[in-house]
Amino acid sequence: MPRTKFQEIIYAILMTFFMVLAMEIYNAGLHMGGLTNQGILNALSEMPIMFPICFVTGFFFIDRIAPKIAFRLVTPGKDLPFLVTLTRAGVTVCLMCPTMSLWATLIFSHAGTEFPAIWLQTFASNFPMALCWQIFFCGPLVRFLFRTLFQRQLAVSTQ
């Protein structure tokens, strides 16, 4: 959907913000045995740590790999646009979730020798939320916001 480097950056910032926000709040609820106001504040306090890590990981690494994998499975312009979007989102989550779970485990868990087990547990508990959030909420929200922000540029570039 983005057509320029500037648009790619804005799209990535929006996607990163809403994914990190949701996943931080979700994990706060998991760690506290249920979501509380304090859990939300804790999640927000971790945003300055996780947002830049997620942005750099996604923008510079995963966003280069995910389309190559996704477009082996579907072909833009040939397959249904919904299927292309769904496949791209799914592949991105399949790559980002274990990576961000790794970062979160390194930074927040103090896992020691239990690191592999805690990382796998973090990944396994985050994956269903990340996939559902991306497909049903975050992805559509970010695409809507992006189209709204760049309505004129997108209209001109399609003519």
Give the tens place of pLDDT for each residue, 43-102: 999 999 999 999 999 999 999 999 999 999 999 999 999 999 999 999 999 999 999 999
| pTM assigned to the model | 0.93
Do the Cβ atoms of 14 and 142 come closer than 8 Å? yes
Across 26-40, average pLDDT: 95
Domains of the chain by residue range? 5-157
pLDDT band at 156 (very low <50, low <70, confident <90, very high): confident
